[in-house]
Structure 1
Amino acid sequence: MVLKKPLDREKQERLSLVLTALDGGGPQLSGTILIVISVLDANDNAPVCIQTEYKTNVKENSLKGTVLTTVSASDADEGPHGHIQYSISNAPRGALDLFDIDKENGVLTLVGKLDYEKFRHYEIDVQASDEGGNSDVCKVIIEVLDTNDNPPAINIMSTASSISEDVKPGTVLTMMNIQDPDSNENGKVQCSLNEIIHFTITSTSNNFFTLVTDSELDRETVSEYNITVTCSDEGVPSLSSSVTLTLQISDVNDNAPVFERSSYEAYIVENNTPGLSIFTVRARDADWNQNARVSYILEDSSVNGVPVSSYVSVSADSGVIHAVRSFDYEQIKDFQFRVKAQDGGSPPLSSNVTVKILIQDQNDNPPQVLYPVQTGGSLVAEMVPRSADVGYLVTKVVAVDVDSGQNAWLSYKLQKATDRALFEVGLQNGEIRTIRQVTDKDAVKQRLTVIVEDNGQPSRSATVIVNVAVADSFPEVLSEFTDFTQDKEYNDNLTFYLVLALAVVSFLFITCLVVIISVKIYRWRQSRILYHSNLPVIPYYPPRYSDTLGTGTLQHVYNYEVCRTTDSRKSDCKFGHKGNNH
């Protein structure tokens, strides 16, 4: 048997032939035999990939060992010639550390950590080879799918650490750039604030945000803000980043000082010491530092036509009000003025308050007796008839006290009396009445000493002497009181002053006499000493005199030499010679 053309085992690996042998007889006989030809394989076929390109997707957070795809190839050969092995023939840099393929079954697995943000697309060539060196190559395309594994990154480009409280709404405080390397929804960022009052954050352009004010600020309410900016992406689950900005609110002088009270009243007792502290006004300013420094000023006004500054003064720093003078309740009972509180801002702000000072009375005035009038020389007596019954009104002591309140409450008491059993004085009204029937045995001359006391602490008093004549007719009274015109006490005092005056005059006379005699003796002794001494006498030359009237009666000039001692009565004059005309 001769092979006429090439065999192809892959097309037909076994051939069955029937061989017939014919003889030449007739009838012709034949014989057959079945010949089975098995075609042995030769490595004449290369492996062929089932797909020329494989595509697969894998999440970047997939774990190691994750199967990506399976590469398949076929080889028409059999036996060792058809045994296929797989390998990565070409891959990007670093891909061999990430991917591995099983050489027997072509399973491609993940052996490293993927990062979408670093490399998103891989193309790998996988070679399928048989043992004879024949091979085929297919391409595996791996797309890395993004997962939300990166929080937004906040980059502060500019920020203000302090702003004035009077900035307008819309003032830009901070500019930020937000970056999220993730893709699609995972890379979309929204920012929000924890402080939803006074501030807002807006997106100006792609990935740029600004923090701005959206309402007026007040440092006196909040002086510092800790603003937390939180930026979140839209991934599932969402990732976020935060940054806290500290913003100081600087002060503006927008608050005037405020007094603790709407008005003040203070009390001071009269007869005070000048410079006495009366009380203190206080005002507070909600601003800060120099804007909150309060000074107190006494506003110009007058009290009864006199400047109020002559009554009180105000300490500029402390607000303490001092009395400049000593007050007298009987002259002025109260007055008011205004105090201004001014801060140290520019321009300064101020407010004022009314202060009322009430003078409290002090028992500094004794009672004054208005009746009976006390005279120095004449005698005034009240007459009581001998027929007066019990309770007869003799007279009434009238007194006043210029003080006020209980300091002006007066009480009357009988201090001394010629006959204490005959008269009494009303404690409250000062009425002098008889307390028994007047009899003929009662003396005509009755002298009562009434003391008037106020109710102050300590109390003050005044004394009045009331002369009472117990008689029925005026001549009887006159005859009894002729030797009683002058009060004994008054006479005693007059005698004392006369003796004192005489003693003073005598003392002055004797003193003057001694001084005169001493001076005379001193002058006499001085003159004696100079007269008997050998002291030189200094001549004295007066100026020249000439005739100025032009009559020519004095044609010559004379010199006069005068010698004098201390005693002018013993002076000598010496006339000199005629001088020349020059």
Structure 2
Amino acid sequence: ELYHRRFHPGLQRCLLVQLVSSGDQERKAKGSVVANLATDLGLDLKTLGRRKIRLDTLSNKKYLDINKESGELVIFERIDRENISMTCFIKMEVTLENPVRIFNIEIEIVDINDNAPQFRRDTIHLDISESTSAGERFSLSNAVDPDIGTNSIKTYYLSESEHFDIKIQTGRDGSKFADLILTQALDREAQAIHNLILTAVDGGVPARSGTASIIVRVLDTNDNAPKFDRESYSINLMENSPIGFLVVKLNATDLDEGSNSDIVYSFSLYTSEKTQETFTLNAENGEIRVKEMINYEDFRIYDMEVIATDKGVNGLSGQCKVTILITDMNDNHPEISIKSFSSQVKENVAVGTVIVVISVSDKDSGKNGQLDVHISDKLPFTLKESSDSYYELLVSEPLDREKVPEYDITFTVTDRGTPPLSDNETLTLELLDVNDNIPQFPQSHYTIQVIENNAPGALLSSVTAHDPDLHENQYLVYFIIEKEIVNTSMSMLFSINPENGNLYALKTFDYEIEKEFLFHIEARDSGVPPLSSNVTVHIIIMDQNDNTPVIVSPWRAHGSVVEEKIPRSTDKGTLIAKVIAIDTDSVHNSRITYQFLQNTDATLFSLDQYNGEIRTMRMFSYRDSRHQRLVVVAKDNGEPALSATVTIKLSTVETALKTYADMTEVPLEYDIFSDLNLYLVIGLGSVSFLLLITILVTIVLKCQKPKPSKVAPPCRNSVISERNSTIADSTLVSNDAYWYSLFLAETRKGKLVVRQPVPKGARYIVSSIPRSTGLTETSDSAASTLQVG
């Protein structure tokens, strides 16, 4: 009992505390002296060594031993109460020999808080349905603590949680355990797993604790409907997208799990059949694809409602709206529609008149449907937009059918797509003629040459006008504007075909009587009202060589032979005769040239082909015949040429003519010369002639123009002509058919041949009258008159 008391728990505790406080760790507890048994048992330590001490333990002998020399009870191995027995006592016998004494010893192992609470499982798994109501209780496996008494489990603690709490209960044996209480309903979709820490704390000092992990897995219930990413989708899809083209992949999610989250997609009843025929919906993955070709112009917007349904019991569903907007492609050509058009208009249509009304359209949209309209270049029209998509074609300039009879008007409409598409329409506009053009003659003045002696009814010319108008506005009628000439109407002289303008002569014209006509021709169309114009026609009668030359000098009374007498002593170059012929034809046909047809001695006489003067080429010699025959032809310039001839018979006489002066007549004296005298006379005459020629040339060079002289000409055969009462040199040749105021003088005969002017249209009179100068006449030619028709 004493020993028992000495191992009172309090004492032992003090001892142990003392040991711990002295730094003796539990792991060094082996070899520690528990008690001095010899002292405690009252044994003599001197004799203790001679006695045998044997320690017999009934249990747990391995923990204690005794020191036989000192009698000390030594811990042989660290003592763990929890491993000894449930009684916490160690029973032993101490046997002491010599004498034998037996001591029964019970050693009570006093518990210390050397064990922490410990759960049977480190992790506690709980499956709780999210549909579990709040307040539900769940049993948890409790923790164990080998310590006893106050060192055993005192309480439990749960980590902070809004959904869970614990309730501690005490068993009949005093053990404590905890129940898990659901304080708030779970939501798997919010938190599928809850991790909690359950802590068991003992009552020791210091307290020890142990923990266990509680994993609460929230079991799913089908409490969430599938939900799409968006409530509505608006998708732009290009028209003409190929079949099978992926339009959109819908995505619906279900917060549930398992079959509760497996989703099936489908069209709702609100989706039209047209839409379901155009698009397909994959029930498994929500893909919407093109099922058939899409045409923007047929259908532009497709509305559909897609339902996502989970596979849970009493499955839930969600829906979304999908709007597919078809994007236009520039795949339609613009169209032109003719609303109003008259293919024929009058050419005098007013500027601003509407000719054509068109409308344009394009099934495309946006820029693809925006249209630009224009007409072909270089037309006198303007395109004006009257209203939306309607255009008017207006006349912008005066039209003229004669310049452009018709127009091919091309309308071109082009959209603004990429690339742009276009369409065109060509209309033919025909201009109807109005009588707006007067007949036009190709010339403003017609000069028509008509050869005289024409046949009556002969075609003179065609005076034709042109009228650019059409039909009756183009049909022309021709008239001669009446005009009287010398009491004669033009319609009596000329005639014109009213249909083609052919001009005819109604009579034969004579150039010598009528030389020209001037009148007007009018061309008139058949329009309403008619338009007309006129042209001046100048008819010129062309001369024909129809008049034969008439020889008026030298004068011959009967026949064509003229006999003349000349002195044999005539000098070289002396004017023997002058042949003058006139022709009533025109200037060209009246030009006279003179030629010898017969000349007895070609070396004796010369003939000037232009003025008809016959002169001596040399002096006569005794060998020359006394009678010379000269035949002169006067030929005009016509085709064929007409001519007249005159024969001049010259007889030489041995008579000298005295020179006269101051217009006094000196009789001629004839002497018969001998041959010697003849040669002397010839020589003297030649010298005198040369001297006279020299003087005349000098005078001409100084005066340039011949002046009338009172001195008689050196030759009796000189011819003086005068125009307008002016005496001219005998070499003057006049080609004027009328020979107005022409004077011809024959000084040899003392006669003056005058061609007197008479009124136009009368005949010309050539007469020979005696001179008043008193010249001696060598012949008895009587005064005579020549009438030329």
Q: What TM-score comes out, normalization by structure 1 length?
A: 0.69
Contact 1:270 1:362 (C-alpha < 8 Å) held by counterparts: yes
Cα gap change, 1:273 to 1:127, in 2 (>3 Å):
same
Counterparts of 1:135-150 in structure 2, within 5 Å, are 135-149=316-330, 150=332
- State the distance in 1 between where 2:132 and 2:250 align: 25
The reply to whether residue 276 of structure 1 matches residue 454 of structure 2 is no
- Paired letter, 1:73: A
Aligned to 1:168: 350
Aligned to 1:82: 261
Cα gap change, 1:457 to 1:76, in 2 (>3 Å):
closer
The CA RMSD measured in Å over matched residues stands at 4.2
SS in 1 for 2:273: coil
The reply to whether residue 204 of structure 1 matches residue 386 of structure 2 is yes
Contact 2:301 2:326 (C-alpha < 8 Å) held by counterparts: no
Aligned to 1:111: 291
Contact 1:252 1:291 (C-alpha < 8 Å) held by counterparts: yes
Aligned to 1:154: 336
Aligned to 2:375: 193
Contact 1:116 1:144 (C-alpha < 8 Å) held by counterparts: no
Contact 1:17 1:36 (C-alpha < 8 Å) held by counterparts: no
Cα gap change, 1:241 to 1:417, in 2 (>3 Å):
closer
* Alpha-carbon distance, 1:164 to partner: 0.9
Contact 1:19 1:35 (C-alpha < 8 Å) held by counterparts: no
The reply to whether residue 18 of structure 1 matches residue 149 of structure 2 is no
Counterparts of 1:231-380 in structure 2, within 5 Å, are 231-235=413-417, 237-303=419-485, 305-376=487-558
- State the distance in 1 between where 2:488 and 2:137 align: 150
- State the distance in 1 between where 2:232 and 2:644 align: 133
Contact 1:127 1:135 (C-alpha < 8 Å) held by counterparts: no
| Gap regions ≥5 residues in structure 1 | 1-5, 486-582
Contact 2:128 2:219 (C-alpha < 8 Å) held by counterparts: no
SS in 1 for 2:472: helix
Q: Deviations over 1:133-161 (max 9, x none)?
A: 51313132314144154343322222110
Contact 2:231 2:321 (C-alpha < 8 Å) held by counterparts: yes
Cα gap change, 1:87 to 1:357, in 2 (>3 Å):
same
- State the distance in 2 between where 1:165 and 1:94 align: 57
- Paired letter, 1:128: A
Cα gap change, 1:475 to 1:312, in 2 (>3 Å):
farther
- Paired letter, 1:18: L
Contact 1:407 1:456 (C-alpha < 8 Å) held by counterparts: yes
The worse-fitting range, judged by mean Cα deviation, of 375-384 and 258-267 is: 375-384
Aligned to 1:93: 273
- State the distance in 1 between where 2:632 and 2:299 align: 125
The reply to whether residue 72 of structure 1 matches residue 251 of structure 2 is yes
- State the distance in 2 between where 1:293 and 1:258 align: 13
- Paired letter, 1:78: E
Aligned to 1:57: 235
The worse-fitting range, judged by mean Cα deviation, of 467-476 and 148-157 is: 467-476
Cα gap change, 1:40 to 1:346, in 2 (>3 Å):
same
- State the distance in 2 between where 1:207 and 1:110 align: 34
Aligned to 2:52: none
Aligned to 1:218: 400
Contact 1:386 1:440 (C-alpha < 8 Å) held by counterparts: no
* Alpha-carbon distance, 1:95 to partner: 1.1
Counterparts of 1:443-454 in structure 2, within 5 Å, are 449-454=631-636
* Alpha-carbon distance, 1:88 to partner: 1.6
Contact 2:129 2:220 (C-alpha < 8 Å) held by counterparts: no
Q: What TM-score comes out, normalization by structure 2 length?
A: 0.52
Cα gap change, 1:430 to 1:154, in 2 (>3 Å):
closer
- State the distance in 2 between where 1:234 and 1:37 align: 69
Contact 1:18 1:35 (C-alpha < 8 Å) held by counterparts: no
SS in 1 for 2:589: helix
- Paired letter, 1:399: A
- State the distance in 2 between where 1:133 and 1:223 align: 86
SS in 1 for 2:268: strand
Cα gap change, 1:264 to 1:58, in 2 (>3 Å):
same
SS in 2 for 1:283: coil
- State the distance in 1 between where 2:644 and 2:378 align: 82
Contact 1:383 1:394 (C-alpha < 8 Å) held by counterparts: no
SS in 2 for 1:19: coil
- State the distance in 2 between where 1:366 and 1:423 align: 26
The reply to whether residue 124 of structure 1 matches residue 245 of structure 2 is no
Cα gap change, 1:196 to 1:432, in 2 (>3 Å):
closer
Aligned to 1:520: none
* Alpha-carbon distance, 1:370 to partner: 1.5
- State the distance in 2 between where 1:400 and 1:394 align: 20
Q: Which gives a bigger RCO, structure 1 or 2 (Cα 8 Å, sep 6+)?
A: 1
- State the distance in 2 between where 1:44 and 1:313 align: 124
Cα gap change, 1:19 to 1:348, in 2 (>3 Å):
same
Contact 1:273 1:325 (C-alpha < 8 Å) held by counterparts: yes
- State the distance in 1 between where 2:598 and 2:228 align: 153
Contact 1:64 1:112 (C-alpha < 8 Å) held by counterparts: yes
Aligned to 1:8: 129
- State the distance in 1 between where 2:412 and 2:562 align: 107
- State the distance in 2 between where 1:70 and 1:42 align: 27
* Alpha-carbon distance, 1:212 to partner: 1.7
The number of equivalent residue pairs is 475
Cα gap change, 1:15 to 1:176, in 2 (>3 Å):
farther
- State the distance in 2 between where 1:429 and 1:35 align: 168
SS in 2 for 1:137: strand
Cα gap change, 1:141 to 1:243, in 2 (>3 Å):
same
Q: Deviations over 1:226-277 (max 9, x none)?
A: 1112233455554433221111112222222322233333333322223333
Cα gap change, 1:38 to 1:321, in 2 (>3 Å):
same
State the identity as a percent. 33
- State the distance in 1 between where 2:230 and 2:318 align: 7
SS in 2 for 1:209: strand
Q: Deviations over 1:174-232 (max 9, x none)?
A: 22233334445544444221245321222222332222212211112221111112233
Q: Deviations over 1:378-402 (max 9, x none)?
A: 9985442344344443332322111
SS in 2 for 1:202: strand
Cα gap change, 1:416 to 1:126, in 2 (>3 Å):
closer
- Paired letter, 2:425: V
The reply to whether residue 388 of structure 1 matches residue 570 of structure 2 is yes
